[in-house]
């Protein structure tokens, strides 16, 4: 593969940024990769594993960069942009990897200098692990990256960013911000909230001991705990910034849950069977689309999506 951007700057050096760095190195997609994280410990780890050229300030990292990717929690976007805006090169592409798009656009857009092309994006990939040591080049392989071009975006710059994500192994699609946030509320945000809740319920249920929860965890509960182990700062920001869509889907979920409660209470096996048959078909569709495997994977040390 050929170099797509001469210099790429990663602001935030966690799982996604680390995987981006290794993916760029695997494909030879960048001439130079710089990075910055607020935590000195994180910067030291990134240097230790030779992830990229680690800078001592965000402004230094983005200096003369052709592509700048914000890999920080959604709640930090505003302050980070205020800091780096004066150092962005005219003609550069500015993007992000946030799980929410409308809130990111609202936070970032007021700070974008004239001549800088802001093109938000969201790779639907991740694991329950965090930090620079948890990244790996294959994270984006056959996962989707959604690009959310603002109105009037330079199509050449959009296509260039799409080519970059494809070269990292991703499938690429485009959406508007509000539709993206609704889709992700269904496929990611609300399931995470339910997982956090179920693990919390198990912890609060006095008749089931901690040792029993750990010893007898079936696959469903194990997956809940894996999801609930995700970065708490990131997920706090996701729910606070995608409030409307998440509350809408939670309302629908509550209605469905009440219907299932009623069917169980009344012994309505036909309703339960029909419902489970329908949802089983959705699972088959996910496997057929190559977004998961039907094979058992009880360890689940890699993979997953956000």
Tell me the per-residue pLDDT of 163-218, one tens digit each, with 9 for 90 and over. Answer: 999 999 999 999 999 999 999 888 888 888 888 887 777 777 666 666 676 666 66
DSSP designation for 88: P
What is d(CA 201, CA 214) in angstroms, rounded to the nearest whole number?
A: 14
Please tell me whether residues 137 and 239 are part of one structural domain. Answer: no
Q: How far is CA 111 from CA 44, 60, 70, 244, in A?
A: 29, 18, 13, 25
Q: Contact at 8 Å (CB) between 181 and 151?
A: no
For tokens 């990256």, name the residue.
145
Please tell me whether residues 194 and 130 are part of one structural domain. Answer: no
What count of residues does the chain have?
306
221-277 per-position pLDDT tens digit: 777 777 777 778 887 888 888 888 888 888 888 898 889 899 999 999 999 898 888
Out of 109, 142, 175, a domain closes at 175
Out of 124, 154, 175, a domain closes at 175
Asked if the structure places residue 298 within a domain, the reply is no
Asked if the structure places residue 14 within a domain, the reply is yes
Please tell me whether residues 206 and 116 are part of one structural domain. Answer: no
What is d(CA 71, CA 123) in angstroms, rounded to the nearest whole number?
A: 11
User: What is the domain extent for residue 226?
Assistant: 179-288
Please tell me whether residues 186 and 155 are part of one structural domain. Answer: no
CATH of the domain at 51: 3.40.50.720
Q: Residue 107: phi, psi to the nearest 5?
A: -80, -40
Strand, coil or helix: what is 208? coil
5-33 per-position pLDDT tens digit: 999 999 999 999 999 999 999 999 999 99
Please tell me whether residues 200 and 52 are part of one structural domain. Answer: no
Share of the chain above pLDDT 70, in %: 90
Asked if the structure places residue 303 within a domain, the reply is no
Asked if the structure places residue 299 within a domain, the reply is no
Tokens encoding 176: 């508007």
Strand order in the sheet with 144-147: 121-123, 144-147, 171-174
Tokens encoding 133: 């040591």
Please tell me whether residues 34 and 141 are part of one structural domain. Answer: yes
Going by pLDDT thresholds of 50, 70 and 90, the confidence category of residue 54 is: very high
What is d(CA 257, CA 82) in angstroms, rounded to the nearest whole number?
A: 44
Asked if the structure places residue 300 within a domain, the reply is no
Please tell me whether residues 189 and 165 are part of one structural domain. Answer: no
Please tell me whether residues 206 and 161 are part of one structural domain. Answer: no
Output the pLDDT for position 306: 43
Output the pLDDT for position 147: 98
Number of domains in the chain: 2
Asked if the structure places residue 266 within a domain, the reply is yes
The alpha-helical segments, DSSP class H, found in the chain are 15-27, 40-48, 58-62, 77-84, 102-108, 155-167, 177-184, 190-204, 210-215, 219-228, 232-241, 243-266, 269-288
């Amino acid at each position: 593969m050929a170099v797509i951007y001469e210099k790429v700057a990663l602001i935030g050096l966690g799982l996604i940024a680390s995987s981006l760095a290794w993916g760029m190195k695997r494909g030879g997609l960048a001439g130079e990769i710089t990075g910055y994280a607020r935590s000195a410990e994180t910067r030291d780890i990134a240097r230790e594993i030779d992830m990229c050229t680690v800078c001592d300030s965000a402004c230094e990292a983005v200096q003369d960069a052709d592509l700048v990717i914000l890999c920080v929690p959604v709640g930090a976007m505003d302050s980070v942009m205020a800091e780096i805006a004066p150092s962005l090169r005219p003609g550069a592409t500015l993007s992000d990897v946030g799980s929410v798009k409308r809130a990111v656009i609202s936070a970032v857009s007021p700070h974008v200098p004239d001549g800088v092309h802001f093109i938000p994006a969201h790779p639907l990939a991740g694991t329950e692990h965090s930090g620079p040591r948890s990244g790996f080049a294959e994270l984006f392989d056959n996962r989707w990256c959604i690009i959310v071009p603002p109105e009037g975006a330079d199509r050449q710059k959009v296509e260039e960013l799409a080519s970059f994500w494809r070269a990292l192994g991703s499938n690429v699609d485009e959406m508007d911000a509000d539709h993206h946030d609704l889709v992700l509320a269904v496929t990611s945000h609300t399931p995470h909230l339910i997982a956090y809740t179920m693990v919390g319920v198990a912890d609060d249920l006095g008749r089931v001991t901690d040792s029993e929860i750990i010893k007898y965890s079936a696959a469903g509960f194990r997956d809940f705990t894996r999801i609930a182990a995700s970065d708490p700062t990131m997920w706090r920001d996701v729910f606070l910034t995608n409030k409307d869509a998440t509350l809408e889907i939670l309302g629908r979920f509550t209605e469905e849950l009440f219907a299932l409660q009623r069917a169980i209470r009344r012994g309505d096996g036909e309703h339960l069977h029909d419902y489970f048959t329908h949802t089983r078909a959705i699972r088959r569709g996910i496997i057929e689309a190559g977004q998961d495997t039907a094979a058992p994977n009880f360890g689940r040390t890699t993979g997953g999506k956000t």
